[in-house]
Structures are given as C-alpha cells and as structure tokens.
Amino acid sequence: MIQLVMFPYAGSIVNPYKEWLALNDSEVEIIQIEYDGRGRRSFVERADTWRTLIDKTMKQVLECVDFTKEYILFGHSMGARVVADIYKKIEKMTIKQPKLLIFSGSEIFRSKSYEAILSAPAKKFNQFFFKLGGIPKEVIEEVELLELVTDYLREDLTLLNQFSFNWQKTRIACPVLIFNGTKEDKSELKEWIDLIGPDCQQVIFQGDHFFIRNNVQEILSVIKNKIK
C-alpha cells in the first residue's frame, strides 16, 4: 500500500479532502495534512509567515508518514506550493524520497502578488472565490461559517504573497504529475518542463478549479497507472 499525503488548498477548514477520506482502497492510504490552527489542529498556533508554515508542516509530515514505505506528495492550489517547498526539505534529508509529486490546480510556480484581491471589498473578495467553486453552498448560506472561511482565505493569501520559487534550474528527481481542470487557468506542459524537468506529465479533468471533488476515482486511476 502506498501513502498518498494530501496538502490543503487555501481557506480550508476541516477535512478538505473528505471525498478522498471516504475511499476504501486496498492500494492507497490517504494521509490528510491539516495546517496548524485548522481542523484537528485548531488548538495549535497558526503560522504567521510562509517559512513558519513550511517548517511546522514539515514536522507534521515527519510525524504522519511512514518513511519505510513508499509515499506520494499531493498538493492542490496553495497545497501544490507547499508540496514544492516540503520536497526541497525532504530532498536534503536521509529519508526515503517520494515516489511521485502531484501539483494539482496550479499554474507554474512564480512569485505572485495577491494584494489587489486582499484589499478588495468583502463582497468582491467573496465573489472571486465563489467563482472558483471552492466554497460549498452550505458555507455560503451560513454567515458565521462564511466569515471563518474568508478569514482563513485572507490569512492564506497573505502567506502566499511570501512564496518564492527560485530553484534556478533545479530538477525534481522523481516523476511529477500536473492536474488541472478544463475551466481553470493553467500553464502549458512545456512551461512546467522548463521549470522542473522532463519527467513531468499533465492531465486535464472536467471541471472548475475544484475538479478534485468530482473526479476522485478518475484521478486515483491516473495516479495508480503512473506509479505502476
């Protein structure tokens, strides 16, 4: 059994990969990471810088993953950037390296400013994320939940403002899968190859930015075929 270690997207509260946790699969063990201050780790102090987020998340990875077995790092949206930096840390350690990296719901890594959306009025800020499809209807209809989600989104975008991918032609040693939805902004495969190396495959699934919710079995089949 291979471990599929999944890192949350921005604004996630509890069980961002609940559709995956419901799987009963004898070949894949789902390990869901939750950032400090969220979900099961709501009692832990939240990270206030990107570097702190990566350091604290790395500690959680070391606690949750069995490094005597094979594992995959899977990150969606903000989680893809977290995976990139977690991989850089693992690469320097004397532990088993990942079998596969999966960057989902992401364009190629580059520094990006979120100041415009962060400074937007609350209504415009919320509409931006409603269009992405990441906020469930039950959250939108519940005022307190919506306020909590938008607070988390603002925190996460502030952290993402500090993300910098400056590997300067560093190549990732393991295979990489790039997942995108048909209705979201995405980078061409050539751009990814130029950034991280040739052992890179892009797969497009039907849906918006949160295609990972409605294509679980299809995505899982692609992952299994890749590692086989």
CATH number for position 202: 3.40.50.1820
For residue 179, report the phi and psi dihedrals to the nearest 5 degrees. Answer: -110, 135
Residue 152 lies in a domain: no
Say if residue 13 is exposed, middle or buried (CB neighbours under 10 Å; 0-12, 13-18, 19+): middle
What's the confidence (pLDDT) of residue 215? 92
Residue 110: beta bridge partners?
none
62 falls within a domain: yes
Helices and strands in the chain: count of H runs, count of E runs: 9, 6
Q: Does some domain include residue 143?
A: no
pLDDT in tens, the chain (228 residues): 899 999 999 877 767 788 888 887 889 999 999 988 777 777 778 889 999 999 999 999 999 999 999 999 999 999 999 999 999 999 989 899 999 999 999 999 876 767 777 777 766 666 666 655 555 555 555 556 667 777 888 888 888 888 887 765 557 889 999 999 998 889 999 999 988 888 999 999 999 888 998 899 999 999 999 988
- Residue 133 resides in a domain: no
Cα angle for residues 195, 179, 25 (degrees, 5° grid): 130
pLDDT of residue 13: 72
Q: Which domain holds residue 49?
A: 2-111+166-227
* Domain annotation covers residue 68: yes
Instruction: Give residue 70's region: left, alpha or beta (phi > 0; psi -120 to 50).
Output: beta
User: Are 180 and 202 contacting, i.e. CB atoms less than 8 angstroms apart?
Assistant: yes
Judge whether 142 lies within some domain. Answer: no
Give the count of domains, the chain.
1
Residue 199's φ and ψ, nearest 5 degrees, are: -85, 65
In this structure, is residue 195 part of a structural domain? yes
Does residue 134 form part of some domain?
Answer: no
Instruction: Assess contact for 171 and 29: CB atoms under 8 A.
Output: no
Q: What is the pTM of this model?
A: 0.90
Amino acid at 157: L
